[in-house]
Amino acid sequence: MLVLGLTAGATAKVKVNNLVFNPSFEKDSSGKNFKVTGWTVVSDNDKDAAFTESGWTHSGQNKFTNWKDKDFKVYTYQTVENIPEGVYNFEFWYANGDGANDCYVELKDFGGDPVKIPITKSGSWIKKAAADIKITAGKCAIGIYSDAKAGYWINMDDFTLYNQKDLEQQ
């Protein structure tokens, strides 16, 4: 069964083996970077709406941002490879403003039905999560989609994908 909206706290104090590369965007240099290390930005006209930047992060020095002074549509993804078959949990943190038309984070290509996590409005950092993701394809794509009006912003940080066994081994 798929459970969305896992509450904070369940995993906050345990150490897990995070399979996401550059999950907290700390591999990017400080300031503003339009090349997001380990992630691919796809857009017809709005690649400049996806970048990393420093300040007001959930953790560390950098965060991921979607923002543009014109209406924009941009998709950013990372495919995690070489994942052993198993049951995994996923979580990330974000904060955003007004102006979203259609924004979500999705998991796909992992061997099961895609998981789409809607992004709702939150002016402060909050966590969203998806549990019990059965990965059988040896990989999992993590995608961030923003279709938004000019001036919309979303900050994201600390993407985590880990095997549920990590929790049992604490």
Residues in contact with Ca ion by the rule CB under 5 A? 24, 57, 59-60, 157
Q: Which is nearer to Ca ion, 89 or 155 (CB)?
A: 155
If we measure between CA atoms, which residue out of 3, 4, 11 comes closest to residue 160? 11
CB 111 within 8 A of CB 117: no
CB 75 within 8 A of CB 143: yes
Work out how close the CB of 18 gets to Ca ion at its nearest, in angstroms, rounded to a whole number. Answer: 12
Work out how close the CB of 150 gets to Ca ion at its nearest, in angstroms, rounded to a whole number. Answer: 26
Q: Which is nearer to Ca ion, 135 or 160 (CB)?
A: 160
| Separation of alpha carbons 130 and 115, rounded Å | 8
Alpha-helical (H) ranges within the chain are: 165-168
| Separation of alpha carbons 151 and 69, rounded Å | 5
Work out how close the CB of 57 gets to Ca ion at its nearest, in angstroms, rounded to a whole number. Answer: 5
CB 77 within 8 A of CB 144: yes
Q: Which is nearer to Ca ion, 52 or 109 (CB)?
A: 52
Q: Which is nearer to Ca ion, 23 or 143 (CB)?
A: 23
Work out how close the CB of 15 gets to Ca ion at its nearest, in angstroms, rounded to a whole number. Answer: 17
